[in-house]
Structure 1
Amino acid sequence: MAVTVLLLAAATGQAQAHKVIASVFASGTDIEGEIGFSNGDMAADTVVEVFDTQGNKLGQTKTDSDGFFTYTPTSQVNHVFRADLGAGHIAKTVFDISEMSSVLNGDQLAQTSGETATGIGDSPSAASENVAITEQQEILIAAIVRDELRPLRREITAYKEKNDFQSILGGIGYIFGFFGIAYYIAARRLRAKDKQA
């Protein structure tokens, strides 16, 4: 029984170390993603191929040293991102283009509402008081926020993986505990029968 426990612990440790993590999300007009392993090792300088859902290749990109990549979509179809991490580890995730469409539609709405707000009847002084941030400033702010959120995303992913592993070990502990209680009760009953006989 002890050998089984050791083999089980060794097998779960190996599986934990090789779990691939891949995530993608809308980032302005681009799709940004992250690829790595659950133990925190990131897929640095890895080619990421981009396909549509029918398997037609749309393009490719490459991860940076932190396992992050960006891709600018050229068509309004769902995108499948695939990266070969070696040793049989394949990262594959799908980006729903409707997430990108809502971002693009929101930008278009903001531009049209800005055009109507500064109409012909406004005076030059009123228009200068309602100065909005420029597109360059918006891009700069978005890049800063993305860079600040990257470590947080990595920590959240590692936290989820750690808690999942702890839950598995806790469940195994409960199972062994219940079996231990059952064996204890069975042994007491056998001893009680032996004393009576």
Structure 2
Amino acid sequence: MKHLILALVLIVAPLPALAHKVIAGVFPAGEAIEGEIGFSNGDMATNAEVVVTGPDGAELGRAITDGDGFFIFVPSLPVAHVFSVNLGAGHVAEVTMPADQVAEILGEAAPEGARSAMTEISQAAAAGDVTVATLTGTERQAIAEAVRDEIRPLRREIAAYKEHNGFQTILGGIGYIVGLFGLGFYLAARRKLEA
């Protein structure tokens, strides 16, 4: 009877939840901002509403993710854009594109105090300190699309690999093995005492 109760307790005992992290990223895509929202296990946020706000918290617009977790937003103001998505179950994704990058997309001057590496390179080129190869807009867009298409699956694979092979997962597996050995030794000792 005691063995039956012990077996029932072990079967009904709660198992640890497999947690996953939210991944989110935004990057320039020609005259728009492209973003990706999903989970580190490879599941992507499909048909999720993305709320876009400015640095003052005012809403700038909304977007919807597609079947692969990607969305496109066309900015209209050269300010920092904060993209946030409520994915449910306490998962909230939030990522920001700085004002200087948004200004570059719009072809406008960056706001005062916002300087990126590209801005510094452009200023150095204008001063004659650096030689920069110029590409047409079509060439830049073609290169950006090719790079994005190649990086998408890699980003997902890396995130999924990190999730499945984490240190916590390894320790959990060792804990289960030790627990099973302990249960085996307990049952062996009980049998010896009963004999």
* Larger helix proportion of the pair: 1
CA shift at 1:92, angstroms? 2.1
Higher relative contact order (CA 8 A, sep 6+): 2
Deviation by residue 1:99-136 (Cα, 9 ceiling, x = unmatched)? 7351651574487368x97xxxxxxxxxxxx9843221
Matched position secondary structure for 2:147: helix
- When residues 27 and 173 of structure 1 are mapped into structure 2, their CA distance, relative to the original with a 3 A threshold, is same
Q: CA RMSD in A?
A: 3.9
Matched position secondary structure for 1:23: strand
User: Is 1:26–1:99's contact at 8 Å kept on the other side of the alignment?
Assistant: no
2:152 corresponds to which residue? 150
User: Is 1:51–1:59's contact at 8 Å kept on the other side of the alignment?
Assistant: yes
CA shift at 1:149, angstroms? 0.7
1-side partners of 2:151 and 2:170: how far apart? 31
- 137-146 vs 65-74, which moves further: 65-74
Q: Does 1:58 align with 2:60?
A: yes
CA shift at 1:139, angstroms? 1.5
1:21 corresponds to which residue? 22
Query: TM-score, normalization: structure 1?
Result: 0.61
Q: Does 1:75 align with 2:78?
A: yes
Deviation by residue 1:25-56 (Cα, 9 ceiling, x = unmatched)? 43366543211233322122322111235432
1:93 corresponds to which residue? 94
1:102 corresponds to which residue? 116
- 48-57 vs 137-146, which moves further: 48-57
Matched position secondary structure for 2:82: strand
- When residues 54 and 8 of structure 1 are mapped into structure 2, their CA distance, relative to the original with a 3 A threshold, is farther
1:12 corresponds to which residue? 17
Matched position secondary structure for 2:116: helix
1-side partners of 2:123 and 2:29: how far apart? 14
- Report the residue type matching 2:17 in the other structure: T
- When residues 71 and 107 of structure 1 are mapped into structure 2, their CA distance, relative to the original with a 3 A threshold, is farther
Q: Which runs of 5+ in 2 are unaligned?
A: 1-5, 102-114, 190-195
- When residues 108 and 82 of structure 1 are mapped into structure 2, their CA distance, relative to the original with a 3 A threshold, is same
Deviation by residue 1:61-91 (Cα, 9 ceiling, x = unmatched)? 22222101233442333x3322233x54543
Max Rg structure: 1
Q: Which runs of 5+ in 1 are unaligned?
A: 118-129, 189-197
User: Is 2:26–2:36's contact at 8 Å kept on the other side of the alignment?
Assistant: no
Q: Does 1:43 align with 2:57?
A: no
- When residues 72 and 20 of structure 1 are mapped into structure 2, their CA distance, relative to the original with a 3 A threshold, is farther
CA shift at 1:154, angstroms? 0.9
Query: TM-score, normalization: structure 2?
Result: 0.62
CA shift at 1:151, angstroms? 0.7
- When residues 108 and 61 of structure 1 are mapped into structure 2, their CA distance, relative to the original with a 3 A threshold, is farther
User: Is 1:22–1:33's contact at 8 Å kept on the other side of the alignment?
Assistant: no
CA shift at 1:145, angstroms? 0.8
